[in-house]
Chain A
């Protein structure tokens, strides 16, 4: 109890000194402690080696975000739309990282610590420039500017390396999707990091329909005929009854990518992620090229 109260007072002190627009690390040496409401921002923080104290929706990390592994001891804040105020107060982070999507709870969060919001996704544009800006900003905030620059350079180098190694994959377009249920899919395209990664690997997206501001489209499975001859990436998790149902569907069995076995199931890539998600997708595609293409 004493410990947390001390942290809390220290945190409040930091708020009082720095005001809402918090600009630099509070303590030289140890670096500030972050709480992140967004898995994408947390990915970059971990990649930079910053101190991630707490994260919202922690149990979903291994299903939806996967990489990089969470630091041991990170606390779960519960739902991102309503992060647990009690836990936040007891943890007393120096800064809370959020997104415009969660602007409605900012006034509560600011009772505990300053909040910085990162507009990255859902803007109806390619998120890539926003991801780079956020990476640099997180580098500044955590006092790890060099690490941030290195992360950007390394990511671009890794994508370029993988692009040069892909020889058979570029022959056909790629369609990345999730199964919503036995009759519907969510297809990723323009305005999302998955499309940005495909672009950097010189791969075409086989879905030509419109996507929403978040970078995906919801469609009935029958509309997959529109993608023609393509390779399909199915991200986990797949609802349990999908495979059995589709196995009995002549339409599904007749789709070119099913007949030719050009479909592959992958563990998930964070669709609203940051640079580590791009690297993760590129490496999965590299393994796709090795095994299947």
Chain B
């Protein structure tokens, strides 16, 4: 496609004018009153000159640098992965760097003194490696890459959050850092960043030509180009650009996604021109945002971290991009992971294991000295009042999420689909946030009601969107992801101000089962039990739907309506479960996969096995969360992710011994 560079230049000029105007409003009065002499050689006693010279000007420069770096990084990611949704935020680089820095702050502070940048880079690379390992299973299908990246990103952010919750008194700074404040006090961060970014930009420029050739896969091979090497090199540069930025100022969410997309939209089509235009767009966008925020802060005294605000602006951009992507989206993921069929006696074994776990979580505890005790008989009675609701709630929620996961993965034929990325969980989190910040002392009932309302509202929006645009299952997922990203950014901005109520919300988001009472557990249990007899009918529906819409229609099945029903049902199950274990457990993603890898390939056995596995993982997480870090507690939702993710990864990456044979009734899917 040809460039329309004239148009790009026009847009860039317009953005530059806007950035210049805002910068002028913010800085010009100060600059004018100072004059050049006072500014160039500020004496320490000249406070105005000092602030201009060592805070506001470096802030302007570091904003330009970081914006450009993220724009270039996003462009490289999108080129290498041939995926318009790839970016440092959607591939998990920022979250990986963030987690590495948080862990180092707590456990190896010496590392940070040695090199913050290197720690951030290591984390970023590890996250990308993980995403690529997962995406490789699905042949790097664009949506699989992005959903994998977002899930890894959410997961690592969740892990960072847990560290923060467990060490809140030491990590207040981490909250601010995670929200990407550009505030500066001297030139050192800028001067350290400049050569690093220049080096990375040079490497990117050298890679530009090979990258263009890469687009023509076959031709490139013919030219003897080392495809793997070029890809790896470009990825490394992209991760480095983002990692350096993150270690300098924190997480500037979604700029790396927005800038390259805008560059393409305003006419820069060829790679070479995108590699110039996108960094310019990024630099200008971040400057516009940051200068506007500074003006706002000066007027109101409010502390608004720039990174969180760009993320709030960027999330809708993700949504719009996803809407466009649909037409081009291929149904990839043709590799069947189904290997063996297992007999239903295995289901009985799973059931027995679950029963043992449930029993254990009722009787096991720690006494005041911290020694493990089994409370039996009459000794158990006083403890049952909260151990039982917690256990039942966790068990039911795990089963509900797992079934919702199977439903969504079969419906959308997307292996990364899960209730957690449906946005319903994020919706209930939003309801909770509203309750916490508008009521003076919200109790359990008020909190639950608001969370349920939030989930229902999100579900409604989701269904409306689906009705209007037709049922692209992945559409719904990306809508959910955009909603979730927006809410995470909002939460990050609130947390950065240091308001203690943000900690309450984080505790719930991490999936604490602490608050589950008899009523809540009963609702979840009744729903789970009511779901059981419906499973065979549901399985039949899903078998039909997983043939794909056209096939289903050809067979005379009212596909649209039953798909809508499945989506609605999955939303309800998710909402009920999220109230108990929070939005970050990932049980709904993991349990269906684990079930499948264990050999439960057909729909009904998969539903049953996933439900049992989900319940088992949640019960284990609840038991361990309650006891291992006594007397402190680790939220069950998060612990289940920590338990389940490695299991899933091992199962997914285990070398396959036998190729599955595709049966006629088991259509191809990942």
Contacts and interface: CB of A to CB of B under 8 A. Distances in A.
Given A89-B383, A241-B112, A220 B181 contact: yes
A85 B386 contact: yes
Contacts of A167: none
A158 to B, nearest CB: 28
A221 B185 contact: yes
B186 A248 contact: yes
A250 B631 CA distance: 46
Contact of B443 (A64, A82, A107, A253): A107
Contacts, number: 183
Interface stretch (A71-79, A133-141, A274-282): A71-79
A249 B441 contact: no
A248 B113 CA distance: 15
Q: What bracket does the count of chain B residues touching chain A fall in?
A: 35 or more
A216 to B, nearest CB: 7
B83 interface: no
Given A85-B514, A184-B176, 12 more contacts: A5-B378, A63-B169, A86-B366, A86-B631, A101-B500, A104-B443, A104-B447, A181-B174, A184-B173, A212-B497, A218-B498, A222-B55
Interface string A196-220: 0000000000000110101011111
B631 A84 contact: yes
A182 to B, nearest CB: 8
Given A5-B379, A184-B173, A259-B44, A100 B441 contact: yes
Contact of B173 (A100, A180, A248, A254): A180
A89 B382 contact: yes
Contact of B633 (A84, A220, A249): A84
Interface in A184-240: 184, 186, 209-210, 212, 214, 216-222, 225, 228, 237, 239-240
Interface in B199-247: none
B496 interface: yes
Interface in A32-84: 60, 63-64, 75-79, 81-82, 84
B314 interface: no
A186 B496 CA distance: 11
Nearest to A222: B55
Interface stretch (B45-53, B275-283, B463-471, B611-619): B45-53
Interface string B31-52: 0000000000011111110110
Given A246-B185, A249-B54, A101 B631 contact: no
A262 interface: no
A253 B44 contact: yes
A131 B496 CA distance: 28
Interface of B: 42-48, 50-51, 53-56, 109, 112-113, 165, 169-170, 172-174, 176-177, 181, 183-186, 188, 300-301, 303, 365-368, 378-379, 382-383, 385-386, 440-444, 447, 496-501, 503-504, 507, 512, 514-515, 517, 626, 630-633
A28 interface: no
Nearest to A89: B382
Q: What bracket does the count of chain A residues touching chain B fall in?
A: 35 or more
Interface of A: 1, 4-5, 8, 60, 63-64, 75-79, 81-82, 84-87, 89-91, 100-101, 103-108, 111, 117, 119, 122-123, 178, 180-184, 186, 209-210, 212, 214, 216-222, 225, 228, 237, 239-241, 245-246, 248-256, 259
Contact of A218 (B185, B188, B365, B496): B496
CB-based closest 7 A-B pairs: A181-B173, A220-B183, A254-B44, A100-B441, A251-B54, A222-B55, A78-B631
Nearest to B497: A218
Given A108-B514, A254-B45, A256-B47, A184 B188 contact: no
Contacts of A186: 172, 498
Given A82-B633, A89-B383, A239-B173, A218 B303 contact: yes
Nearest to A87: B631
Nearest to A63: B169
B337 to A, nearest CB: 38
Contact of A214 (B54, B367, B499, B514): B499
29 contacts: A5-B382, A75-B631, A77-B631, A78-B631, A78-B632, A85-B514, A91-B368, A104-B515, A106-B444, A180-B173, A181-B172, A183-B184, A183-B185, A184-B176, A214-B500, A218-B303, A218-B496, A221-B183, A222-B51, A225-B47, A228-B47, A237-B170, A241-B113, A248-B188, A249-B186, A251-B50, A253-B44, A256-B47, A259-B45
Given A86-B365, A90-B368, A184-B181, A79 B50 contact: no
Contact of A216 (B301, B498, B517): B498
A106 B441 CA distance: 11
A101 B188 CA distance: 41
A178 B340 CA distance: 60
Nearest to B173: A181
B235 to A, nearest CB: 30
A254 B499 contact: no
B164 to A, nearest CB: 12
B169 A60 contact: yes
A104 B185 contact: no
Contacts of A252: 185-186
A263 B43 CA distance: 20
Nearest to B174: A181
Contacts of B300: 210
Contacts of B56: 222
Contact of A209 (B46, B188, B301, B497): B301
A108 B386 contact: yes
B632 A225 contact: no
Contacts of A183: 176, 181, 183-185
Q: Report which residue of B50, B183, B382, B512 has the largest number of chain A beta carbons within 10 angstroms of its beta carbon.
A: B382
A60 B632 CA distance: 13
B556 to A, nearest CB: 51
Contact of A81 (B113, B172, B441, B503): B503
Q: Report which residue of B56, B177, B303, B631 has the largest number of chain A beta carbons within 10 angstroms of its beta carbon.
A: B631
A214 B499 CA distance: 8
Contacts of B515: 104-105, 107-108
B172 to A, nearest CB: 5
